[in-house]
Amino acid sequence: MNTSDFYYELPKELIAQKPVEPRDSSRMLVLDKNNGNIEHKHFYDIIDFLEEGDCLVVNDSRVIPARIFGTKKETGANVEFLLLKQISGNKWETLCKPGKKAKAGAEFSFGDGIMNATVVEVKDDGNRIVEFDCDENFFSALDKIGQMPLPPYITEKLEDKERYQTVYSNELGSAAAPTAGLHFTRELMKKIEEKGIKIAYVTLHVGLGTFRPVKVDDITKHKMHSEHYEIPEETAEIIKDTKKNGKRVIAVGTTSCRTLESVATQFGEIKKCDGWTDIFIYPGYKFKVLDGLITNFHLPESTLIMLVSAFAGYDNIMNAYKTAVKENYRFFSFGDCCLFL
């Protein structure tokens, strides 16, 4: 298939700039992947589509305020760093703007000296490996000086940082939110658990590569970015029990989906483990774990619309997106969501 096969027309005004309140009042397009039937609901209706014994798998990664602004020590020139991926300790892979000011060995200061940084290496793709130094805990310092790295299509300022976090976020490390989870409230999660539905946690730290466009015509030639994941023992056991009992495993978000399918592909089962995944799921892929998927509406020609097309069927997805545009659904990170069963 070609990248252009996944294009759809999206009016700019349908790109959500702000999240709705309350979180679970967002709209939800429900697609039956077996027959293509569509229903229009709200997210608080999700509980009606879940059955006792089902398992929801959520990504508990927490977004770090990864955009920091500082000055070059030698010249005082202004710079912007965007933290992409933790290499080890306080060493990070970053994007730097303007890049010409961030040569190997260059030193920078952020937040009036709260944090300092030295460029260790300039990679072939232009990203920098940077070593940070601060007197306090790195993430505490980052919380003081950093800004949320909102996607480029969101142009309005976010008043409350927590609205770009899920209510169950716990493990620091993402450069972008696992946005399918933004629709959950604590009250809704409690109701779900009271109905006998298990909630299992995985961690996948989302990189900004999730927004990287596909630049090749033949999708099989696209190279995916790599992201770090972890599956705890408890989650592995919950998923195994769910499958053994003939119930459904439903991933909340493409990040949870990619974590589960990566591990099942590598090991033939879900088990306690951690590692890096660059799995690229597109039509033709045979799912090994997933029975359902909750996700937002994705960008045209993106790897994520390819993933949902693999899960719910290409024709079903393209029709669902066309319907969503016609029905004025809100798109992307702060937008409405889909449930595929």
Q: How do residues 261-287 score in pLDDT, each as one tens digit?
A: 999 999 999 999 999 999 999 999 999
pLDDT above 90: percentage of residues in the chain: 88
Cβ neighbours, 10 Å, residue 282: 18
Q: How do residues 3-57 score in pLDDT, each as one tens digit?
A: 999 999 999 999 999 999 999 999 999 999 999 999 999 999 999 999 999 999 9
Q: Is the pLDDT of residue 159 over 90?
A: no
Q: Is the pLDDT of residue 256 over 90?
A: yes
State the Rg of the chain over Cα: 20
Q: Please report which confidence band the pLDDT of residue 149 belongs to, taking 50, 70 and 90 as the band edges.
A: confident
Question: Side-chain half-sphere of 265: how many Cα atoms within 13 Å?
Answer: 16
Q: Please report which confidence band the pLDDT of residue 78 belongs to, taking 50, 70 and 90 as the band edges.
A: very high
* Per-residue confidence (pLDDT) for residue 209, from 0 to 100: 72
* Per-residue confidence (pLDDT) for residue 152, from 0 to 100: 85
Is 174:150 a contact under the CB 8 Å cutoff? no
Q: Please report which confidence band the pLDDT of residue 84 belongs to, taking 50, 70 and 90 as the band edges.
A: confident
pTM over 0.75: yes
Q: How do residues 174-208 score in pLDDT, each as one tens digit?
A: 989 999 999 999 999 999 999 999 999 999 999 87
Residues near 183 by Cβ (< 8 Å), separated by ≥ 6? 23, 24, 26, 28, 43, 294, 337
Alpha carbon dihedral 283, 288, 292, 295, in 10-degree steps, equals: -60
SS (H, E, C) the chain: CEHHHHCCCCCHHHECCCCCCCHHHCEEEEECCCCCCEEEEEHHHHHHHCCCCCEEEEECEEECCCEEEEEECCCCCEEEEEEEEEEECCEEEEEEECHHHCCCCCEEEECCCCEEEEEEEECCCCCEEEEEECCCCHHHHHHHHCECCCCCCCCCCCCCHHHHCCCCCCEEEECCCCHHHHHCCHHHHHHHHHCCCEEEEEEECCCHHHHCCCCCCEHHHCCCCCEEEEECHHHHHHHHHHHHCCCCEEEECHHHHHHHHHHHHHHCCCCCEEEEECCCCCCCCCCCCCCEEEEECCCCCCHHHHHHHHHHCHHHHHHHHHHHHHCCCCECCCCCEEEEC
Question: Average of pLDDT values for 125-133?
Answer: 94
Q: Extract the tokens encoding 286.
A: 């045979």
Q: Please report which confidence band the pLDDT of residue 213 belongs to, taking 50, 70 and 90 as the band edges.
A: confident
Q: Please report which confidence band the pLDDT of residue 166 belongs to, taking 50, 70 and 90 as the band edges.
A: very high
The pLDDT mean for the chain works out to: 95
* Per-residue confidence (pLDDT) for residue 100, from 0 to 100: 86
Q: Is the pLDDT of residue 165 over 80?
A: yes
Q: Please report which confidence band the pLDDT of residue 94 belongs to, taking 50, 70 and 90 as the band edges.
A: very high
